[in-house]
């Protein structure tokens, strides 16, 4: 009995390194070059809009920028949809549902947000741009308001770009 137990232990000790050396556990979605390129393009367009508005803009000038807002919101919505459509690896989804990640990630309603965080960042960008558009249309934009919208945007795009570029391995 002891000899059998020792033989099983030795076999397991030999097999475990072999098994583990061939395993790769993926907990995040795959890198998407088109998504990153789209984010880069949309970022340039957004920064151009902010640069054009940084000295402020009265409501009378809103129509000059209306199409810029629509294009940007459309770009970021399309990118959000693309990022949201990515499959989260099955093991990661199971782990997220088991709620074993709250020590480093505390999503309110959807634990999978920890595994695919970019769609939320992009949704916040879209929301910020919509609020900025509404302000511009109804009240105009003063330089301080543009700076505030820009600061919110910078935080959100930094999050999205950091996460997406980190997926490249």
Looking at residue 29, its pLDDT comes to 72
Across residues 31-36, what is the average pLDDT? 91
Its pTM stands at: 0.77
Looking at residue 116, its pLDDT comes to 76
How far is residue 111 CA from its own chain's centroid?
A: 14
**CB under 8 Å to 52, separation ≥6 — which residues?**
65, 68
Greatest mean pLDDT among 85-89, 102-106, 112-116 lies in 85-89
CB 59 within 8 A of CB 137: yes
């Amino acid at each position: 009995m002891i000899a059998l137990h020792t033989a099983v232990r030795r076999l397991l000790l030999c097999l475990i390194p072999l098994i583990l050396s061939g395993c790769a556990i993926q907990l995040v979605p795959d890198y998407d070059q088109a998504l990153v390129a789209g984010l880069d393009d949309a970022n340039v367009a957004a920064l151009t809009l902010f640069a054009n508005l940084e000295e402020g803009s009265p409501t009378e000038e809103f129509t000059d920028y209306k199409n810029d807002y629509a294009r940007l919101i459309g770009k970021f919505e399309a990118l959000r949809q693309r990022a949201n459509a990515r499959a989260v690896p099955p093991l990661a989804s199971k782990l997220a549902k088991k709620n074993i990640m709250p020590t480093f990630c505390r999503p309110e309603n959807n634990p999978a947000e920890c595994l695919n965080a970019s769609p939320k960042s992009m949704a916040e960008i879209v929301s910020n741009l919509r609020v900025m558009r509404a302000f511009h249309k109804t009240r105009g934009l003063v330089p301080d308001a543009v700076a505030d919208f820009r600061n919110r945007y910078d935080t959100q795009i930094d999050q999205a770009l950091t996460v997406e570029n980190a997926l490249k391995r």
